[in-house]
Structure 1
Amino acid sequence: MAAAELFDEHGYRGTNVADIARRAGLTLGALYFHYGNKRGVAEAVMNSQPQAIEPLLQSEGVQHVIDITMVWARRLQLDPLLRAGVRLAVEQRSHDMSDPTSFNNWASIMAGYLQEARDNGELRPEVDPAALARFVVGACTGVQLYSQLVSCRADLMDRTCEMWQILLPGITSEEAHARLVVDPARGCTE
């Protein structure tokens, strides 16, 4: 968490390993032993996002994917680990990284739930679960960046709901669409 807080506050370039170790109460040797270098710490923070969200959810299929995005949007407003993970993932080219793992992990998780949704008749037959998962990851990233720019993420929940209200009629069966819930309250897990 110490590294996430520093990366959230100062970005990759503005954070140094000594500060991470000091805030975490570790020796530099212990930090290097576990992570190798600052990049290793950054990768661990970037790739920890699903573990901060997935255990909080009980839904299935399309509802589960909606809920992932709602919890993610809400927790981005509260959780420095998620904010740091997103910041590091989005800004990584500026610090000579090119690691799509965090995006691919989300897409893989979502594709699994969307395949389940397809098997259960929730998705329209022409919808490819893997392609839709990649689209949702990219759309959420864009919605989050736009919200961050215009309102410091204050409207992120509303923008995430808008995204789903536009997307769902084109991807879900009428029956599934009628029972899916797109509501900011789905993001409240505290």
Structure 2
Amino acid sequence: MARARQERAEITRQAILDGAAVAFDDNGYEGTSLSDVVKHAGVTKGALYFHFPSKQALARTLMDEQFHIAEQVPTTGDPGLQTVIDLTHRMAHGLRTDVRVRAGIRLVVEFGSFTHPDPTPYDTWIDTCRSCLKPAQQSGDLHAALDVDALSALLVGAFTGIQVTSHVRTRRQDLHTRVTDLWNFLLPTIVPVNRIARFHPTGTPQSPGSPTD
């Protein structure tokens, strides 16, 4: 009985997150009410408050879920530059196909830029990039004099701008192409010429959105 109750509670929690994602993706944080979440989730307000004490708690949970994408990126051996390339394509895939990812990113942009500036999500992604790029530099896949911290911040900022621009112009239909453009322009600058051929700007075959996916 206890397990059945836990399973029902988790189903309700996931329904609330799905409903909140739809509402936040459509209307943003300020434009979404808890009544909107209840309507989309198909639950009662009591059930919502049981799992999430406030709209902000809901938003924070969705913002944090985007980082699960980093855990899903397959690596061959140690993390490196291709890991980061694949991560950008996996994030692009999530933005195109997963309303939770879209909602989380929209909330990050809103919270990080205007309403209540919060650098935490950006700093987390920068740390993720840095943790892959430092080993890449140590193995000779990046120029030795390159500032990995600066490159990590540049990548996060560039991807943020690319996805927003893609959303506005094409509803993200061209997002994988624009991410590939980023890497095509960037790789000759950061990678020694004799190693460029090792990397796939479109992502490896197992990366969503790659030509062989």
TM-score (normalised: structure 1): 0.88
In the alignment, what sits opposite 1:37? 54
Query: What's the % identity of the aligned pairs?
Result: 36
Candidates 82, 94, 98, aligned match of 1:79: 98
Q: CA RMSD in A?
A: 2.3
Q: 1:4 to 1:52 in 2, by over 3 A?
A: farther
- How far, CA to CA, are the matches of 2:47 and 2:117 in structure 1? 26
In the alignment, what sits opposite 2:117? 98
Q: Greater shift after overlay, 67-76 or 169-178?
A: 169-178
Deviations 1:157-180 (A, max 9, x none): 111000111111111122331210
In the alignment, what sits opposite 1:49? 66
Deviations 1:6-59 (A, max 9, x none): 111221122112332454455545544544311121122112112034314224
- SS in structure 2 opposite 1:187? coil
TM-score (normalised: structure 2): 0.79
In the alignment, what sits opposite 2:147? 128
- How far, CA to CA, are the matches of 1:75 and 1:30 in structure 2? 28
- How far, CA to CA, are the matches of 1:119 and 1:25 in structure 2? 52
Q: 2:73·2:83 contact (CA, 8 Å) conserved in 1?
A: no
In the alignment, what sits opposite 1:64? 83
- How far, CA to CA, are the matches of 1:2 and 1:56 in structure 2? 26
Q: 1:57·1:68 contact (CA, 8 Å) conserved in 2?
A: no
- How far, CA to CA, are the matches of 2:196 and 2:41 in structure 1? 46
- How far, CA to CA, are the matches of 2:129 and 2:175 in structure 1? 20
Unaligned runs of 5+ in 2: 1-17
- Number of residue-to-residue matches in the alignment: 190
Computing the radius of gyration over CA atoms, which structure comes out larger, 1 or 2? 2
Q: Which runs of structure 1 show a deviation greater than 4 angstroms over 4 or more consecutive aligned residues?
A: none
Amino acid at match of 2:28: G
- How far, CA to CA, are the matches of 1:166 and 1:86 in structure 2? 25
- How far, CA to CA, are the matches of 2:56 and 2:65 in structure 1? 14
- How far, CA to CA, are the matches of 1:122 and 1:163 in structure 2? 18
Amino acid at match of 1:97: H
Structure showing greater relative contact order (alpha-carbon pairs closer than 8 Å, 6 or more residues apart): 1
- How far, CA to CA, are the matches of 2:95 and 2:19 in structure 1? 17
Amino acid at match of 1:17: L
Q: 1:4·1:84 contact (CA, 8 Å) conserved in 2?
A: yes
Amino acid at match of 1:44: T
